[in-house]
Chains A and B, each alone.
Chain A
Amino acid sequence: MEAPAFDLNIPEARADVPESAPQEHPHILARDFSVFYGSNAAVRQVTFNIPRGLVTAVIGPSGCGKSTFLRAINRMNDLIPGCHTRGELIFGDQNVYGPQIDVAALRQRVGMVFQKPNPFPKSIFDNVAYGPHILGIRDRRKLAEIVERSLMRAALWEEVKDRLSDNALGLSGGQQQRLCVARALAIDPDVLLMDEPTSALDPRSTTRIEDLIAELRGTYTIAIVTHNMQQAARVSDFTAFLYEGWLIEFGLTQQLFTRPKEKQTEDYITGRFG
């Protein structure tokens, strides 16, 4: 197999991630996991582990089921009528689709950032405080504390600290997306799911989000769906390649992009299709 012509700059910090991390510190485990829309399978019998505290990218051509897989983790697919699953998806030690799972509690631990920035048409403060408010925190001072910390973590605090009561829709697209990250962080989740978080952003805002992912790495388990392979290579420790619902390959990002084991992976990352 010839080596794909792919320029890869793995940051120093990620160079020593052991290949065995998914087996040793699994956080989310998919076991023969499938998602169906009616009778169509969007994700087919996928099996792999998302390691704790690291960044895992899910790539693949559009329609390959990568977003569906991501949305299955915090059961956002429940909103779509006719959507059902088979197999197991284990978060921590519980099957996400188990009968006694409290979906709201699950979603409080598995935060999500969407493709398009989607702040509520409320003030910046109220956006970030929305989650804690649901958890029952009404004390204004405590809320302010959480809002400040979340905005700081999302690297947005300096830009908005003087206008917390402004409408969030007045922010730029990149700022809105970081606000959405801050909003997700405010309820202190274990996992952060990012569904093509930069596809609607300009390059500069994209860089800031990627920097943010690098900063959050280690603190949160992050799963990011992207169809930008450079981005996957830049930000992730592990990469899963999905094609037509099947998991074709999963491994260290570095290896997957430089020495892909499968022909389809190679074709995709070298841009032959997709």
Chain B
Amino acid sequence: MQLGTRRLLDRAFSGLGFISIGLMAASLLVILTPIFVRGFGAFVFQGTIEFRRMQLERFERGDRDEIEAELTTARRARQPVYEMLDAFDTEMGEMGFLERREYEGPREELEDALRELLGPRPEDPVPVMARDQYGATRWDRAREKIDLVLYRTEYDYSDRTRMGVPVSVPRVEDFRGTALEALFDYVELHATEMLRPRWTLYLRFLTDHSIDAHFFGGIWPEVLGTLYLTLGAMIFALPMGVVSAIYLVEYAGEGRLISLLRTFISTLAGVPSIVFGLFGLAFFINTLKITESKSLLAGSLTLATLVLPTVIRASEEAIRSVPTTYREAALSLGASKWRAIVTVILPASLPGILTGVVISMGRAAGETAPIIFTAAVSVGKALDFAKVKFWETLSEATPALPWNIYNLATEHEAVDEIRHVQFGMVFTLVMLVLILNATAIFLRARISKKLRG
């Protein structure tokens, strides 16, 4: 081949490498950006007066007088809407039967849409479900609700070869010439006065309990459940992993039994996580009967078996990287082997072991499949070791971030209504894992510093 072409091919080859790395970085960016941006929106958003009312009534937060004054102002702005509805009702009373029948459906739909936007009318009885007691608490939701008030969706079936195409039809057309005709312009123009959106920092999203299946409130039970499951897994996996690593590095020879043991450990590392879930169910719950059904304990044990090989491998590496000279120095001073391990080798390898542990914690925190059958429930209150007996709390099932992300995103009855909660959960989980990984990187940097002096 010609030299010029060879050089060109060489360049192109490097270019392909750069493109791959670029694609990898881009996919990371593409995945993280919506999670970060919209997840951030669970904490910082434009809250309406309904949000502040909810916070006041449910969590007793905010200045009562101020909020009530604001609520009065907002209700005054809403008054014309209700007056128009009432006027229309009188108008309908005067209509003939057939004409009235025609208006009844649309009016019903309109009132429902308005209720979703503004909440129940002040003079109505308080609804049972919390989700019905408040209007739109977030301005981004409110804007969608305003669209629901202004437009209704119809399907266009004119092209028979395809599925129906949704078309938005202004509701104002339904009420031409009635008392309600002016309502739509009014809602569109005065929405901000009726709801009074304001930038809100809702940090307590993290530490609030949830109200009415995550319609309002925060994600504390999930966060706490994840933390407990992770810690529980580490309590079992850390000592086992470190002891195994000590044995493998310091005592085990090169025998056939040991190499078999190593194969087993790497097999354990490759077992699919869902199989761990089945194993946890079949072994810890159905066979050992450590608890009657799903529980924090069973979930922790299952996660512990999952992260055990990771902990062993990391600890092994950390112990192996301790210079032999330390070992020799300790032994030459008359220390027994075990003593040398405990007093010199383990302290020196501690940062390395911790690095592995922290990374394993990230893995345990994010795993979903193993806890589906062993620990996780979709709705539950935050675990509280202080109030109930220790054992009882251990044998309770718990919500956990990964499971509830799945649950809220697929099985919740109003998936679209609580997108912000889902994104908030994903954001929290990803941040948790990233913080753990950053800690690991920090620890790793410290090791090299410490070992080199």
Contacts and interface: CB of A to CB of B under 8 A. Distances in A.
A187 B334 contact: yes
A15 interface: no
A81 B453 CA distance: 30
A117 to B, nearest CB: 9
Contacts of B452: 169
A220 B90 CA distance: 115
Interface residues of A, number: 28
A45 B344 CA distance: 36
A53 B334 CA distance: 21
B328 A76 contact: yes
A187 B326 CA distance: 17
A76 B332 contact: yes
B362 to A, nearest CB: 27
Interface stretch (B46-54, B259-267, B296-304, B335-343): B335-343
Contacts of B253: 81
Given A81-B253, A121-B348, A104 B336 contact: yes
Interface string A126-145: 00001100110000000000
A118 B323 contact: yes
Please report whether the interface of chain B is mostly helix, strand, loop or mixed according to DSSP: helix
B348 A183 contact: no
B325 interface: yes
Given A118-B323, A121-B347, A121-B450, A135 B332 contact: no
Contacts of A170: 453
B250 to A, nearest CB: 10
B453 A111 contact: no
Contact of A131 (B323, B324, B334, B347): B334
B335 A184 contact: no
A120 B334 contact: no
A118 B329 contact: yes
Nearest to A120: B344
Contacts of B327: 79
B179 interface: no
A169 B453 contact: yes
A118 to B, nearest CB: 4
With a 10 A CB-CB cut-off, give which of A81, A118, A122 has the most chain B CB atoms.
Answer: A118
A116 to B, nearest CB: 6
B14 to A, nearest CB: 42
B331 interface: yes
With a 10 A CB-CB cut-off, give which of A114, A130, A183 has the most chain B CB atoms.
Answer: A130
Contact of A107 (B326, B333, B344, B450): B333
Interface in B344-398: 344, 347-348
A121 B447 CA distance: 11
Contacts of B335: 104, 130, 134
Contact of B332 (A74, A116, A121, A169): A74
A184 B333 CA distance: 7
Given A118-B325, A118-B328, A121-B347, A105 B334 contact: yes
27 contacts: A74-B332, A79-B324, A79-B327, A79-B331, A81-B253, A107-B331, A107-B332, A108-B333, A111-B332, A114-B325, A114-B329, A116-B325, A118-B326, A118-B329, A120-B329, A121-B348, A121-B451, A130-B330, A131-B333, A134-B339, A167-B450, A169-B450, A169-B452, A170-B453, A180-B329, A183-B333, A187-B333
Interface of A: 74, 76, 79, 81, 104-105, 107-108, 111-112, 114, 116, 118-122, 130-131, 134-135, 167, 169-170, 180, 183-184, 187
Given A104-B336, A120-B348, 19 more contacts: A76-B328, A104-B334, A104-B335, A107-B331, A107-B333, A108-B334, A112-B328, A116-B325, A118-B329, A120-B330, A121-B450, A122-B347, A130-B330, A131-B334, A134-B333, A134-B335, A134-B339, A167-B450, A184-B333
Interface of B: 253, 323-336, 339, 343-344, 347-348, 450-453
* Interchain residue pairs A-B with the least CB separation, the first 4: A169-B453, A108-B334, A118-B325, A112-B332
